[in-house]
Amino acid sequence: GFLKWTWRLTYLSAIGGTLYIGWGIYQGRTPPAQYDPDPSKKTLVVLGTGWGAVSLLKKLDTENYNVIVVSPRNYFLFTPLLPSCTTGTIEHRSIMEPIRSFLRHKKAAVKYYEAECTKIDYENKMIYINDESEIKGSTSATEVPFDMLVVGVGAENATFGIPGVREHGCFLKEVPDAQKIRKRIMDCVETATFKDQSPEEVKRLLHMVVVGGGPTGVEFAGELQDFFENDLRKWIPEISNNFHVTLVEALPNVLPMFSKNLIEYTEQTFKEETIDIRTKTMVKRVEEKYIEAEYTDALGKKVLEKIPYGLLVWATGNALKPVVKDLMSQIPAQKDSRRGLFVNEYLVVKGTENIWAVGDCAIANYAPTAQVASQEGAFLARLFNQMAKTDSIETELAELSNVQEKATSKDLRDEAFGKIKDLQKRLRRVKNIGPFEYSHQGSLAYIGSEKAVADISWLTGNLATGGQLTYFFWRSAYLSMCFSTRNRILVIMDWAKTQVFGRDVSRE
Ligand code: FAD
Ligand code: NAI
């Protein structure tokens, strides 16, 4: 009897689950009709389609504003899984979500322009935008006025002015970066196996150098070593003795934001995976075929070493975008800021009244992470929704006081008075929105060979853990954080494909 019931329950939950997913997919494909944007409402311009901006748009009641989104990228990118796209563990389209379909699901329509904002004119409440894509129409540069502006343009790759980085290195921030790396890995491998290649060249071409021991560098190095161990050495055995990954970091440790035991765990795992970690080594110059790095030898003398490479991936953190730098130069209160826009506890750009900033371009005392950006975006959505409510209550209040003044009888006056009292109470409640508070859920990073590290805050304190179990946690956590059901299904299919067939080693 018990077994029979267990089976029935299993059946029922399977049917329920399928119906639920099916309903989700159906709704995703058939959005209801939208209201047109109302030009009489305040124009809210949002710059960017990254973590900060999209999290704002997700929760924003768009019917309260005339919303315009400007970004050169017409999709949202789930960056935590981008390192997996460099080796084909995951295909890049699986972690992209088109902004068009996302915006089409909002109650009131939102205008989207695929363009880069080249200048924000703070005084005149105007932004200048440029269509940077290949296809141009009769116009490709124009201006958009705003009443309210949210800057969520992210950051640029830091190079610290080190010569040669832009010309010879690959960054890892956007989809085209991951595609370029994927192509280059295979190009290096195929060129290394070219007829009569000299042994030094083979060694150089198969030397994969990663600069920057932050999470981007570490995750990429882990993915690359996996690619070699699981696929490359199987199909191209002749590279086995020469393929080598080196991680160069200026500080004494990699992953400085993780706890000490996890740093040690990562360094030990890398040793086992035969990834070389060169800490306290600062890259000073980049040439086409080698980098120059400085380290201090056992006698305390500074040594400049030439390290030949085939592939160079540069992951040394964030720098300011020119459009942000330009905005800062227009606002005296931003004069002392170097790393981004100073914002107050409501994410208002200091020195302005109608500009807010979220994510990597804002300085709010938190690390530049997706976690912070998305919480900031969600906070702004709440704030703007409340502000709209406040506006509508205030208009209603003004109308009611008019009614009260002109009322011809005591009853009418009393009625209006009662309504005013209620509205004032509601207004106080609505206006009472607290400042932004970040809630840190923890840090996670993949370190290769199906291992991950996690520093997680639990109710009871902190949990620092590493290993294979953490890897399953890492997978499920990232899967649950994916943007949509579609993304989740695609990522699961990619993981399964990699498990069954291995990664694709063809060079597109
Ligand atoms: P972004 O997400 O970078 O978005 C910026 C947007 O602005 C983009 O749509 C861009 O096209 C647009 N834009 C750029 N210039 C302009 C312009 N001039 N005008 C208009 N629009 C413009 N964080 C975590 O918390 N966990 C992780 O696991 C994690 N993994 C990461 C892995 C990698 C490889 C990378 C690179 C980052 C990772 N991060 C992670 C960090 C995280 O991605 C960033 O902190 C986050 O993307 C910041 O969000 P944002 O909205 O500020 O900027
Ligand atoms: P980062 O700023 O975290 O690390 C860059 C590293 O490069 C630093 O350790 C720095 O010492 C080193 N470096 C700088 N110049 C150097 C030089 N010339 N030579 C050698 N080393 C040099 O940058 P990263 O990894 O790109 O991350 C950016 C942000 O994104 C961080 O806030 C990070 O937390 C977040 N992120 C989070 C991830 C996660 O949680 N799993 C994954 C990727 C990024």
> Does residue 52's CB lie within 6 angstroms of at least one atom of ligand 1?
yes
For residue 145, which of 42, 52, 74, 57 has the smallest C-alpha distance?
Answer: 42
- 464 pLDDT tier (thresholds 50, 70, 90): confident
405 pLDDT exceeds 90? no
What is the pLDDT, as a whole number, of residue 157? 98
- 347 pLDDT tier (thresholds 50, 70, 90): very high
* Range in 145-149, 162-166, 418-422 the model is least confident about: 418-422
Q: How far does the centroid of ligand 2 lie from the alpha carbon of residue 483, in Å?
A: 24
Q: Which of 54, 71, 157, 174 to mutate to test the pocket of ligand 1 (most atoms within 8 A of CB)?
A: 71
| Strand pairing class (355-357; 148-151) | parallel
For residue 35, the cross-strand partners are 108
Q: Which of 165, 216, 218 to mutate to test the pocket of ligand 2 (most atoms within 8 A of CB)?
A: 216
Quote the ipTM score.
0.99
What is the pLDDT, as a whole number, of residue 463? 75
> Does residue 442's CB lie within 6 angstroms of at least one atom of ligand 1?
no
> Does residue 215's CB lie within 6 angstroms of at least one atom of ligand 2?
yes
Q: What is the mean pLDDT of the chain?
A: 94
> Does residue 47's CB lie within 6 angstroms of at least one atom of ligand 1?
yes
**Structural tokens at position 340:** 């981004």
How many C-alpha atoms does 224 have within 13 Å on its Cβ side? 31
- 273 pLDDT tier (thresholds 50, 70, 90): very high
The protein residue with its alpha carbon nearest to ligand 1, atom 29, reads: 80
Q: Residue type for 335, please?
A: K
3-state secondary structure 91-109: CHHHHEEEHHHHHHCCCEC
**Structural tokens at position 107:** 């109650």
> Does residue 72's CB lie within 6 angstroms of at least one atom of ligand 1?
yes
Alpha-carbon span 35 to 105, nearest angstrom:
11
166 pLDDT exceeds 60? yes
4 pLDDT exceeds 80? yes
95 neighbors 78 (Cβ within 8 angstroms): yes
> Does residue 310's CB lie within 6 angstroms of at least one atom of ligand 2?
no
- 461 pLDDT tier (thresholds 50, 70, 90): low
Alpha-carbon span 126 to 43, nearest angstrom:
11
> Using one digit for the tens of pLDDT, what is the confidence trace for 280-299?
999 999 999 999 999 999 89
> Using one digit for the tens of pLDDT, what is the confidence trace for 48-65?
999 999 999 999 999 999
- Nearest ligand (C-alpha, residue 113): 1
Average of per-residue pLDDT across 77-92: 98
- 67 pLDDT tier (thresholds 50, 70, 90): very high
| Percent of the chain predicted with pLDDT > 90 | 83
What is the pLDDT, as a whole number, of residue 431? 79
> Using one digit for the tens of pLDDT, what is the confidence trace for 313-339?
999 999 999 999 999 999 999 999 989
DSSP string, 20-71: HHHHHHHHHHSPPP-BPP-TTSPEEEEE-SSHHHHHHHHH--GGGSEEEEEE
What is the pLDDT, as a whole number, of residue 353? 94
| Strand pairing class (311-314; 116-121) | unpaired
DSSP strands (E only) in 212-266: 244-248
> Using one digit for the tens of pLDDT, what is the confidence trace for 223-242?
999 999 999 999 999 999 99
Q: How far does the centroid of ligand 2 lie from the alpha carbon of residue 316, in Å?
A: 5
> Does residue 92's CB lie within 6 angstroms of at least one atom of ligand 1?
no
Whose tokens are 């304190």? That residue is 461
> Using one digit for the tens of pLDDT, what is the confidence trace for 172-199?
999 999 999 999 999 999 999 999 999 9
> Using one digit for the tens of pLDDT, what is the confidence trace for 239-271?
999 999 999 999 999 999 899 999 999 999 999
460 pLDDT exceeds 60? no
Average of per-residue pLDDT across 365-385: 96
425 pLDDT exceeds 90? no
CA 165 vs CA 44, 174, 218, 486: distances in Å: 38, 17, 19, 37
Q: By CB neighbour count within 10 A (0-12 exposed, 13-18 middle, 19+ buried), where does 56 fall?
A: buried
DSSP strands (E only) in 272-413: 276-278, 282-286, 290-296, 302-308, 311-314, 318-319, 341-342, 355-357, 362-363
- Nearest ligand (C-alpha, residue 372): 1
Report the alpha-carbon angle 370-185-216, nearest 5: 20
> Does residue 368's CB lie within 6 angstroms of at least one atom of ligand 2?
yes
Average of per-residue pLDDT across 12-38: 90
Whose tokens are 């205030």? That residue is 394
Residue 291: Cβ within 10 Å count: 26
What is the pLDDT, as a whole number, of residue 454? 93
